[in-house]
Structure 1
Amino acid sequence: MNGGDVPGHDWSKITSGRPTTLAGYGITDGVTVTQMASAVTNAVTSAAPPGVVANFAMPNPPNGWLMANGSAVSRAAYAALFAAIGTTYGAGDGSTTFNLPDLRGEFVRGWDGGRGVDAGRSIGTLQYDAFQGHRHNVNQVWTTGAGITFPSPGVNSAWQATIDATDGTVAGVSGAPRVASETRPRNVALLACIKF
């Protein structure tokens, strides 16, 4: 297009080529690229600040996360994480490193915080498996044979036996019981990581 194509217009306002910036079009930037990057970083950090633990369905931690495997890491390199958790999970070498929580193979339980359900514990403490105290009744069987009553007839006596229950019993619709070396609920293994 040239001046003769549209007569009567001021062609001095039209430039050749294509501007590469908003300013080239006469538009003032609202924010700079640096300001935009900072805003995105702040939004991500506030959504997942250092010290947040999350589970991932993959074998390696994503960028910005460390595997929660109890390892000792640099206090300087991970200063924001160190400021958040300190030496709660171990002091590392005592001066330049600190330990991450070790959540491998563990279930996480919400901190009691004074409610009284799991009293006396602090953040980061380990609790071993346990089974709530309970009892099973075993009825005594008294038998007679050849005129002799067991235990001795006419004698007040106590009889005690220990019976090991090592095999489960199929009952109702529950199917065959699962016996293991620990008490646990049904579960799925995921990768526990901590944000740095």
Structure 2
Amino acid sequence: MSQKNDFKAFSIINNSNVVNQNEYEESQSLKTGFPPENISTHVLNKALRQSSTIASVVANFIATQSGDDVLDDGDIAKLTIQLNRALKQIATDGKVPNSRKINGKALTEDINLNAGDVGAYTRTEVYTRAEVDRLIKTTSEIPVGAPIPWPLAHPPIGYFTCNGSAFNKLQYPKLAEAYPGGRLPDLRGEFIRGWDDGRGVDPSRILLTNQSDALQDLKGSFKGDGEIAVSTEGVFANGGIVSGKYGAQNDNVSYKTLFDAARVARTSHETRPRNIAFNYIVKAE
């Protein structure tokens, strides 16, 4: 059921007897009011239409939002109450309904939310400023130029890959202290070995020098009786009978002995320990 609205807009149909807007704004009556005689009806109609239209719109708003009839009975106090009720209602329409909840808590009054209610971490689950400062300090304490095993293909900002490339010694003076030649070590596919420093395990080595791969000495033996190899061990193996003619009536018969390091060790095209591949990087500054 629609509410009653007594306030109607005046003279609103097309071709109404009203002056056009430009003439109305230039009319002397707009500034001084109508004279006691010879009132221009089309100007009067214009004034009545403007005031009545606004009144009708406001009254319709009150009726719609408050749910009350808006009557032309001269009761200004009641109309004021209805207007306030309509304004409160339009504000309430934009609120979350009381039936809604946050993590099971109804919005009927002020509610207290904790970190779990909104899916946030508690203060004990996040780093404090002091802890963050310690992490930053720990990172900054890594010496410039020290090789670091990195699990990704590309280094983080402020780091270089140890790929043998040259760098600007003026731009990176601390890195130049570690590598005065202005070139990073090429650690791609290489192992790092501790400097001997007089121990005698790897004598005569100089820091940052390369060392080729080498194979530990392999030994073996075989025993023979005349021209026949009767037993082998270690890296040696019996290769079978080798026979041939040398122009005599009797054939010359002998045995072949093979050398195969794979008989006593795992073999490949290089000598290496078991390993995991990392990307070596260095802090640049």
With normalisation by structure 1, the TM-score equals 0.56
Write out aligned runs for 1:22-33 (5 A): none
- Structure 1: distance between partners of 2:191 and 2:277: 10
CA contact (8 A) 2:162 2:184 kept: yes
What is the aligned-residue RMSD (CA, Å)? 3.1
Letter in 2 for 1:44: T
Segments of 5+ residues of structure 2 without an aligned counterpart are 1-132, 229-253
1:70 — aligned with what?
164
- Structure 2: distance between partners of 1:99 and 1:75: 9
1:187 — aligned with what?
275
- CA 1:180–1:117 in structure 2 vs 1: closer, same or farther (change >3 Å)? same
Specify which structure has the bigger relative contact order, considering alpha-carbon pairs within 8 angstroms and separated by 6 or more residues. 1
* Shift, 1:139, TM fit: 2.3
2:208 — aligned with what?
124
* Shift, 1:75, TM fit: 1.2
- Structure 2: distance between partners of 1:50 and 1:160: 63
- CA 1:125–1:143 in structure 2 vs 1: closer, same or farther (change >3 Å)? closer
Percent identity over paired residues: 35
Give aligned pairs, total.
128
- CA 1:102–1:130 in structure 2 vs 1: closer, same or farther (change >3 Å)? same
- Structure 1: distance between partners of 2:276 and 2:138: 31
* Shift, 1:104, TM fit: 0.5
1:165 — aligned with what?
260
Letter in 2 for 1:104: R
* Shift, 1:39, TM fit: 9.4
- Structure 1: distance between partners of 2:147 and 2:136: 19
- CA 1:192–1:184 in structure 2 vs 1: closer, same or farther (change >3 Å)? same
Segments of 5+ residues of structure 1 without an aligned counterpart are 1-37, 88-97, 145-158, 172-176
Whose Rg is larger? 2
- Structure 1: distance between partners of 2:266 and 2:217: 20
Is 1:111 matched with 2:205?
Answer: no
- Structure 1: distance between partners of 2:135 and 2:259: 62
CA contact (8 A) 2:185 2:208 kept: yes
Letter in 1 for 2:186: D
With normalisation by structure 2, the TM-score equals 0.40
2:177 — aligned with what?
83
Is 1:56 matched with 2:150?
Answer: yes
